[in-house]
Amino acid sequence: MTTPIALKFGGYQPPASIHNQAAARFGELLREQLGDRVAFELIGSVLDIGRLSGDLPVMVENGELSFCYMSTVRFTSWVPELALLELPFLVRDRAAVWRALDGELGALLIRRMHEHTPFRVLGLWDNGFRHLTNRVRPIRTPADCRGLRIRTQMSALHGEVFRALGFEPIAADIKRFVAEIGGDSFDAHDNPLTNIYTFGVHRYHRHLTLTSHFFGATFLIANAREYASWPAEVRAAVDEAALQAIALQRRLAASEDADVLAKLRPDENEVVHLTAAEHAAFVAAVEPVLSKHRAALDPKLFASLEGA
């Protein structure tokens, strides 16, 4: 009997998260297509085995995992053009940004990933619009951010943005944030609504402000060398399963914002919907950061996102 090909997929979120629902569907499709030719295993959260979320690409690179999902933020040192997706208030419309990422812009970013990293990109997932939460006070203006310690993604650029708003940014892996959320380490954080809910942030941070200050994308990646070693029919099944998992993940992401807001209880969480003028004040506060980094990137990169 031929030994099945071991395919191990790693994530960092709870089972009900939209990312892990898509990862589970990816595995189901591979089993349907390839049967006992593969042995698929999903480690839904490497946090539960003592690893950091940021370990996932390393685990794929060294062969501990075949696949993982990870925010594009983690790959900017390899592909500087990805900084485009870390700039504040650049994306306003979900459909428009996906037209760009499914078109020439996405093709460029994936090509750069293949040129400069040990990963095979299987697609891009929707990491949603990020909003502010905190345990101290309602945030309606940049002045309300002043002095609050905010957990940020591992992005120096994000730190610049939050500093411009008046926060005291602390870059930390989600593992640390979740472990310390009930203490005094962090006053605030940002995430898409789906993560705010699935990680239980809403139970500790009463105040939520719908700023949509960043829009995030997530790479679905494989170990490029391992991918190349698989028989053609296995690669074809992986590619097809990835396409279907991408479609599912994006559908879930698009509906999740409304679903989460409906689940939040008014007696436990205060949701601030900014007026146009209030939103404009946040945009103005970070404009120097946006201008600085816009000057450092190829203007052609912005063309497909303008108006997005």
Residue 171: the pLDDT is 96
Q: Is the pLDDT of residue 72 over 80?
A: yes
Flag whether 51 is in a domain.
Answer: yes
Flag whether 257 is in a domain.
Answer: yes
CATH number of the domain within which 115 lies: 3.40.190.170
Flag whether 221 is in a domain.
Answer: yes
Beta bridge partners of 169: 150
Which pLDDT tens digit goes with each residue over 202-233?
999 999 999 999 999 999 999 999 999 999 99
Residue 284: the pLDDT is 98
| H or E element that contains 67 | strand 67-71
Flag whether 29 is in a domain.
Answer: yes
How would you class 33 by CB atoms within 10 Å of its CB: exposed for 0-12, middle for 13-18, buried for 19 or more? middle
Which pLDDT tens digit goes with each residue over 12-67?
999 989 999 999 999 999 999 999 999 999 999 999 999 999 999 999 999 999 99
Question: How many residues make up the chain in this entry?
Answer: 308
Range of the domain at 15: 5-303
Which pLDDT tens digit goes with each residue over 252-290?
999 989 999 999 999 999 999 999 999 999 999 999 999
Q: What percent of the chain has pLDDT over 90?
A: 93
Burial letters for 196-233: b for 16+ Cβ neighbours within 10 Å, e otherwise?
Answer: bbbbebbeebbbbbbbbbbbbbbbbbbbbebbeebeee
- Residue in 274, 252, 308 with CA at minimum distance from that of residue 84: 308
Q: Which residues, other chains included, contact 205 with Cβ-Cβ below 8 Å and sequence gap of 6+?
A: 133, 134, 135, 181, 188, 189, 196
Which pLDDT tens digit goes with each residue over 104-118?
999 999 999 999 999
Flag whether 44 is in a domain.
Answer: yes
Q: Is the pLDDT of residue 1 over 70?
A: no
- Residue in 281, 18, 269, 260 with CA at minimum distance from that of residue 133: 269
At 132, phi and psi to the nearest 5? -95, 140
Flag whether 308 is in a domain.
Answer: no
Flag whether 224 is in a domain.
Answer: yes
Question: Per the structure, how many domains does the chain have?
Answer: 1
Look up residue 78 and give its amino acid. Answer: W
Two tokens, residue 288: 């120097």
| Alpha carbon 164 to its chain's center | 22
- Model confidence at 306, pLDDT cuts 50, 70, 90, reads low
